[in-house]
Each structure stands twice: as structure tokens, then as C-alpha cells.
Structure 1
Amino acid sequence: MNYKEIYKDSDKGGAYLFYGKEKYLIENAIGYLKNKYIKGTDAFNYIKIEGTEATPADIITAAETYPVMSDKKLVLVKDVSFFISENNLKKSFYEFLENLDNFVILIFWDRASIKKTTKFYKEMKKLGRDVEFPKLSLPDFRNFVNQYFLRKKKKIKTTDIAYFIEKSGYNSRNEDKTLLDIKTEMDKIISATSGEVITREDIDGSITENVDSNIFNFLDAMMKRNTEIAILELDNMYRLNEEIPKIFYMIIRQVKNFLSYKILNEKNIYPNDIMNEIGVSQYEFKKILGTQNNFTKSFLVRFYDELLEADELFKTTSVDEKVILETLVIKYCNG
């Protein structure tokens, strides 16, 4: 089940399995259910059970007791992975889950990483009560950032939201970064922003340095042919132990994007069609449009050939990759 189903206007009841990377989203969903169904009666109708200590009998007893001064009660079982590994759950327990009365919302929260091969997960999935809270898609993440700033009474331009997203590293290969990390970054920016509008300077002055933000700064400097900044950011990435082949790939990608734009533009293809053909976001395409005049088509063709030669050197010899990469960056920026 998609976690957004929790917020749909229908009468919730029965058992659910909450799991996924985004603890922040899970906490929000639990808070929403508490506020909607048991607000003001939490002391009577909100029961938290530690899965590290619970038995099936404990959960059954908690779920079968009627609510007080409310139509619903909410029972939360944390650490469900521990609970199911330590208890030999019998058929009768799964029958209990399937036939649970509608007056109770029973949430099993997996705070580790539940195996989808377990009988418990399969049974919850069969009931359609497996609710995953994954990392957000780019559109959902963009909306999350915008709405969070608005709730804090801060305005931010759409382009600067995209800038923050690029620097945050949330949607990149850094899979360990969660919304809780992003919230911390946004709170720092909000605290450091004196005015009503968040600017790029506010973002740059507050966001925690990470490999992804260095890559963003590095590629931006390359586009603008700013040798000093490009080399500085390259050194920062070395310091953060970024792998040279990954940096090299990003340079190749940027050159290919510029070259593709030049070739397609010569054919009088509409900009939106070029953007779709290259396969980049609107934000990245605007940066290509704004800096493509820094490079001629003939230079890009020659430089791309040099990149292919360097790639062959990396694969077949024991050359100093750092020296070659720095030489390529200087040549790219100086043309």
C-alpha cells in the first residue's frame, strides 16, 4: 500500500505494517492518525508496546480492549522485526490480525529492515496492509521542501528550491540521507536567514558540506570555466574520498550534454525537445542554455576524444589518475 492512502478520507481500522527508510514520514502518519481519531483521549486510547518485550498475548489484549470516550483506539508496536523473530507466531495470531475489529488501529512499526521473505510480511501484504514509506520521488521531495519552508513562514524561489535539492544530495546516490537529515539542513538555513526570503547565499552559508554538494559546485564551476573553483572543489572531493572514476564520469556526462545540445540546436530543434532528447531536468537544461556559449562545438569534439583517451589510460596503465584528472579540468576550463 502506498503511504499516501493513510491520508485519504476513509474510516481506518485494523492492522497495518509500517516500514521503509523515511522515519519522518512514518512519525507524521502516526501523528495524523492520533490527531484524527483519538485527539484529546490519548491517555486512554493510545497504547505503545515495545516489540523487544511484547508477546502475542500482550498485543491481543491491548487490541481487544474497547476505547474510552472515543470510537477508536491506536495501538503502536515498535521494533516488529524483533517481535516476529523472537515469537513463533501461530496461525491463530494471523487470524486475529485478519479479523481485527474496526475500533482499533494496530500499527506494527518496523524500525530496522523487515525481510520480505518472512511470513509476517507476506501475511500483511496479503491483507493489503503493508505500508511502505520510501525515499520521496523528486516531485514529492520538491513539494516537501517548499511546504516546509512555507510552514516556517519563509519564501523561496522555485529555482532556489532546485538549487537546494541539488546541494542536499537527497535524490542522488547517497541513499543514507533521509528527510530527518534534510529537515536539519532546512532548520539551519531558516535560523540563518534574517529576511523573509531564503536566498542561495543563505543555502550556501548553512548547508553541511558533503560529496554531493561538492560535485554540484565542481560541475557548476566547470560550466562557467572557473578553473580556481573547479580545482578547489576537486580537492574537496579528494578529501571526502570521492572515487576518481565517478568524478571522471560526471565530466564526460557534462561534455556529452553540451555537445548534444550543440548538434541538436544546429538542426533547429525546439529547446523542450532538445531537453527531452538529452534527458536532463529543466533546472539542469537552463544551466546548459546559460553556459553553452562558453564552449565551441569543435572544442567539445576534441575534448571528448581526449576524455576517451584518458579513460583508456585509466583502464590499461598505472598512471596517476589525480594528475590526469587535474590536467583535464584545467584544459576544459581554459579551453
Structure 2
Amino acid sequence: MQTLNQDIKSGEFKQIYLLYGEEAFLKNSYKNRLKEAIIGDDTMNFARFEGKGLDVDELIRLADTMPFFAERRLILIEDSGFFKTASDALVQYLPSMPDTTILLFVETEVDKRNRLYKKIKDMGYAAELNRQDSAQLARWAGGILAREQKKITNHTMELFLSMTGDDMENIRMELEKVISYTLGRDVITDEDVMAICTVQVTNRIFDMVSAIVNRQTRKAMDLYEDLLTLKEPPMRILFLIARQFNQLLQVKELMAKGMDKGTIASKLKMQPFVVGKTMPQARQFSREQILSYVNSCVETEEAVKSGRLQDRLAVELLITKEYG
């Protein structure tokens, strides 16, 4: 991110940028900042391509076109799939691309063995923008609050992040609500956070996993129905359940090595508040029992991807499965 910030500040840009990773807020933020810095509001020298199956010949023709009464032409390509299955024509073309053209790729899936990825590493800059750890999120959120002349203790910030989850876009929206709620006051309290912040999907997932491992099938199914009502796709719910079980397994293993909450949080880049909630859950079960849940999640995903089960039913079967 330091390289991106420096290029935006200096106005000296590389010919190709790749923004990838699971933190959508950061990808969107840097995409917009780069676009603004490179061409501003110049629409004549800006083009955007999105989705798989793009016409590479058309892309190359446009990249070869000189900018119209401007220094640069910017081409934005989003979720192209080029970094899973590279276009040989595009890889071969890049070294001869005019200096006046800048390509900006924004991708969800990237294979670092991919030829296009390697070419961009050679010619430009690839930025992996992943979820931030709790300390980074706390600093970022604290900076936003400070600009609004708001103060918050470490404990209250920890509570706030435990309710919002680690999605930066959601954190930003919740910060706006807290700032508005505390208008006229400069200190944000636990009570303010509890009154305003929405309990997010990750909290429901935590409760669902607790219900599954405690064999509270009805409660787990009710939580599943709540998430479906909130328009959460079944496969995203499955991903979050699997992630929670994996975290449970990791916490269990580090506890067995004698590590305390703070050390575990630092090692796994988890919020201490979340680790504190996970540790009692991990104590209830053996490593083998938790691993059986992890394996069940993998089997469920394979059943859906192979077409053997419909996604909604597959997650229902996972939740209601009898574990030994």
C-alpha cells in the first residue's frame, strides 16, 4: 500500500497496476484514488471492462490508441479471470504497450503462478489487499474518529470491532452511525456502541457454530434462516462456518501450547475480544472433534461444486448432521 500511496502523491505512475485480495473496501478505495490521480474527470481517455470473456483484441486496440488531448489513457479491467487463465496475446502485448496507456486490473481471484501476474510484477505493481488485523483496523477506525474530534478507549474499540467484524466498509458505516449518535459529546462509550452497532453476520455465524457443536440443532437452523432472510447466499454462509471452525481449531492448538489470549490474538491476527469468546468454546471439544467439523465443511463444499447437492440443502444437512 505504501507504493500505491507514494505513486498517487507523486503523480509518477507505473504502466500496469493489479489490485487483488479479499478486502473489497481497500480495492475500491485505491481503484478510485488511482483513477482520480491518473486522469481526474477525463472521460474521453477512460475505458472500463468487466467480467470474464473479454475481447482481448479490442482491449489491445484501445491500449494502442493515443490519448485524446491528454497525457494518459487509463483502462480499468475488473474481475476478468485473466489471472486464473492468462491470455497469451495480452501477456505478449504488454512489453510493447505505449507509455501513454496505463492498465489497472482489479481482481478477486489471482494465481501467483499465472504468466500475466508474473509479467505485471516485472513491469508494474501488484498489491495484495487482504483483511486487516485487529490492530490495523483499530488504528484506522481511531483515525476516522480523531478527525471528528471523538475519543474512544481501547476496550470500547475492541467491543466495537467485535460487533462490526473485520469488513472495512461495514466498519466505516458503523462509525458514521456512532459519530452521529454521539453528536455533542467527544467520548464514545460501551453503551453507545451497544445501542447503535448492528450485530453482523459474523456474530450470527459464531452463535450458529456454538449451537452446532452443542447439538442445539433448532437454534442453529433458526440462525441459518435469519441469515437467508438477510439475503446471505448459502455458499457464503458455508464459507463463514468453515472459517469459524478453522479458527476454533487454530485457537485449540495454540492453547495446547500454553499461549494466552493476547499471544493467540497476535499470532492469528484476530481481535482479542473474539479470541476470548472462542477459547471457552475450544475447551469443550477435542482437536479430533473440531477437525471432524472442518472436514464436514470441506465435504459439503465439494458436494455443492460437483452438483450432487443444491447449496441451501447442503448447508442444512451440515447443520443437522449428527456428529460423534
TM-score (norm 1): 0.56
| Aligned equivalents of 1:237, 1:84: Cα separation in 2 | 36
**What letter corresponds to residue 8 of structure 1 in structure 2?**
Q
* Mapped contact 1:17–1:129 kept (Cα < 8 A): yes
Structure 1 residue 21: Cα displacement: 0.7
- Map 1:112-151 onto structure 2 (within 5 A): 112-127=108-123, 129-151=125-147
| Aligned equivalents of 2:33, 2:71: Cα separation in 1 | 16
SS in structure 2 of the partner of residue 49 of structure 1: strand
* Residue 163 of structure 2 corresponds to residue 157 of structure 1: no
Residue of structure 2 in register with 1:57 after alignment: 57
| Aligned equivalents of 2:83, 2:202: Cα separation in 1 | 37
Structure 1 residue 186: Cα displacement: 2.2
Q: Which moved more, 1:116-125 or 1:54-63?
A: 116-125
Which of residues 168, 175, 182 is equivalent to 1:186? 175
Superposition CA RMSD, Å: 4.5
> Identity rate of aligned residues, in percent?
23
Q: In the superposition, relative to structure 1, how do residues 13 and 212 fare at CA in structure 2: closer, same or farther (>3 Å)?
A: closer
* Residue 109 of structure 2 corresponds to residue 89 of structure 1: no
CA deviation vs aligned residue, 1:285-305 (integer Å, no higher than 9, x gap): 9xx9xxxxxxxxxxxxxxx9x
State the aligned residue count: 242
Point out where structure 1 has 5 or more consecutive residues left out of the alignment: 171-177, 217-235, 262-274, 289-303, 316-335
* Mapped contact 2:63–2:101 kept (Cα < 8 A): yes
| Aligned equivalents of 1:71, 1:187: Cα separation in 2 | 38
| Aligned equivalents of 1:127, 1:52: Cα separation in 2 | 23
| Aligned equivalents of 1:147, 1:119: Cα separation in 2 | 39
* Mapped contact 1:84–1:120 kept (Cα < 8 A): no
| Aligned equivalents of 1:311, 1:84: Cα separation in 2 | 39
Structure 1 residue 74: Cα displacement: 1.6
Which of residues 202, 206, 211 is equivalent to 2:196? 206
* Mapped contact 1:52–1:83 kept (Cα < 8 A): no
CA deviation vs aligned residue, 1:49-105 (integer Å, no higher than 9, x gap): 2244531122112222222343222210122216975xx7225x2132234333222
Q: In the superposition, relative to structure 1, how do residues 96 and 190 fare at CA in structure 2: closer, same or farther (>3 Å)?
A: same
Q: In the superposition, relative to structure 1, how do residues 210 and 83 fare at CA in structure 2: closer, same or farther (>3 Å)?
A: closer
| Aligned equivalents of 1:183, 1:279: Cα separation in 2 | 23
* Mapped contact 2:14–2:124 kept (Cα < 8 A): no
SS in structure 1 of the partner of residue 68 of structure 2: coil
**What letter corresponds to residue 193 of structure 2 in structure 1?**
I
Structure 1 residue 25: Cα displacement: 1.0
SS in structure 1 of the partner of residue 34 of structure 2: helix
Q: In the superposition, relative to structure 1, how do residues 103 and 137 fare at CA in structure 2: closer, same or farther (>3 Å)?
A: farther
| Aligned equivalents of 1:5, 1:18: Cα separation in 2 | 12
Residue of structure 2 in register with 1:169 after alignment: 165
* Mapped contact 1:77–1:108 kept (Cα < 8 A): yes
SS in structure 2 of the partner of residue 43 of structure 1: coil
Point out where structure 2 has 5 or more consecutive residues left out of the alignment: 207-218, 225-240, 290-324
Residue of structure 1 in register with 2:99 after alignment: 102
CA deviation vs aligned residue, 1:119-140 (integer Å, no higher than 9, x gap): 3333333445322111113332
SS in structure 1 of the partner of residue 170 of structure 2: helix
| Aligned equivalents of 1:201, 1:48: Cα separation in 2 | 45
**What letter corresponds to residue 101 of structure 1 in structure 2?**
P
Residue of structure 2 in register with 1:16 after alignment: 17
The structure that has the greater radius of gyration is 1
SS in structure 2 of the partner of residue 194 of structure 1: coil
Residue of structure 1 in register with 2:33 after alignment: 32
**What letter corresponds to residue 22 of structure 2 in structure 1?**
K
**What letter corresponds to residue 204 of structure 1 in structure 2?**
M
TM-score (norm 2): 0.58
- Map 1:296-311 onto structure 2 (within 5 A): none
| Aligned equivalents of 2:88, 2:77: Cα separation in 1 | 18
Q: In the superposition, relative to structure 1, how do residues 162 and 89 fare at CA in structure 2: closer, same or farther (>3 Å)?
A: same
CA deviation vs aligned residue, 1:12-54 (integer Å, no higher than 9, x gap): 13122221111211121122122222224x2222211224453
Residue of structure 1 in register with 2:2 after alignment: 4
SS in structure 2 of the partner of residue 80 of structure 1: coil
| Aligned equivalents of 1:96, 1:19: Cα separation in 2 | 22
Q: In the superposition, relative to structure 1, how do residues 208 and 89 fare at CA in structure 2: closer, same or farther (>3 Å)?
A: same
**What letter corresponds to residue 55 of structure 1 in structure 2?**
D
| Aligned equivalents of 2:15, 2:157: Cα separation in 1 | 39
